[in-house]
């Protein structure tokens, strides 16, 4: 539906889940894709092979919660592709623990990856976009947990609520540079980090009972909203959240 020929897209956490789906969707739409990953080079190479069937792509290893590694990655992406037009912030982690038992290290890990990482990558990419002087689009992958206080997920909920406000703050300040910033909030989506939970029949049925459309999303179900927000069809949208959660936030 969208043509991103001539555009370079950076997708963080692009080796699996929603990130992987976004990489392949942008590649099929003609974009050059920079695929960030942190640890699993084998999976990253599989995604790269698939993406290269339809576009020019490359993998870039970096821990998005490290400013040094982020800056090095952005420099490498620009050296390889010459520019960055679109950023999809997707790299994220999740752990479950009662509020009274969350350790400081566990809290820091979730906040550093899910929120600090989005800030660091966005700031570095936005500086590059400003230097290019051609505008750009940033799409943050959040979660409907940015508004729903899911049990055993205080640290995750807070990180995603932070992403929602970061999106608005960035949108406000980057608008003069014609850089749009929007947010996609998926609901229950089957990925590596929750596949074990979803396979538990009781857990799955309890979650589906709170979802009006009674659907567990797949990563490909999220990509349409991401590509739309990155496209010129959304040229008047910035600071917005698009909910892709089968109605969970209205139940």
- Between CA 56 and CA 224, with CA 136 as vertex, the angle to 5 degrees is 65
Q: Tell me if residue 80 is catalytic.
A: no
Give the Cα separation of 8 and 87 in Å (integer): 9
Best CA proximity match to 184, nearest among 244, 227, 231: 244
Residue 196 burial (10 A CB sphere; 0-12, 13-18, 19+): exposed
DSSP SS3 for 186: strand
Give the Cα separation of 25 and 6 in Å (integer): 15
Per annotation, catalytic residue among 37, 118, 156, 177: 156
Task: Give backbone dihedrals phi and psi of 192, rounded to 5 degrees, phi first.
Answer: -60, -35
Q: Beta partners for 180?
A: 137
Best CA proximity match to 6, nearest among 250, 240, 232, 247: 232
DSSP SS3 for 89: strand
Give the Cα separation of 98 and 26 in Å (integer): 38
Q: Is 28 left (phi over 0), alpha (psi -120 to 50) or beta?
A: alpha
For residues 85 and 69, is the Cβ–Cβ distance under 8 A?
no
The residues carrying an active-site annotation are 156
């Amino acid at each position: 539906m969208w043509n991103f020929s001539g555009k370079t897209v950076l997708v963080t956490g692009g080796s699996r889940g929603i990130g992987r789906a976004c990489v392949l969707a942008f590649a099929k739409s003609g974009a050059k894709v920079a695929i960030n990953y942190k640890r699993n080079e084998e999976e990253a190479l599989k995604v790269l092979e698939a993406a290269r069937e339809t576009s020019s792509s490359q993998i870039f290893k970096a821990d998005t919660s490290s400013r040094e590694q982020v800056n090095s990655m952005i420099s490498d992406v620009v050296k390889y592709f010459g520019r960055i037009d679109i950023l999809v912030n997707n790299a994220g982690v999740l752990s479950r623990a009662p509020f009274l038992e969350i350790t400081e290290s566990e809290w820091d890990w979730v906040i550093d990856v899910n929120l600090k990482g989005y800030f660091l990558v966005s700031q570095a990419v936005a500086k590059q976009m400003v230097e290019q002087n051609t505008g750009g689009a940033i799409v943050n992958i959040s979660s409907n947990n940015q508004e729903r206080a899911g049990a055993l997920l205080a640290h995750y909920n807070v990180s995603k609520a932070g992403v929602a406000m970061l999106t608005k703050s960035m949108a406000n300040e980057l608008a003069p540079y014609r850089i749009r910033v929007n947010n996609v909030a998926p609901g229950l989506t089957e990925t590596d980090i929750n596949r074990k939970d979803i396979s538990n029949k009781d857990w799955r049925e309890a979650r589906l009972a709170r979802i009006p459309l009674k659907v567990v999303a797949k990563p490909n179900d999220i990509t349409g909203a991401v590509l739309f927000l990155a496209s010129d069809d959304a040229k008047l949208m910035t600071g917005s959240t698009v909910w892709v959660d089968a109605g969970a936030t209205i139940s």
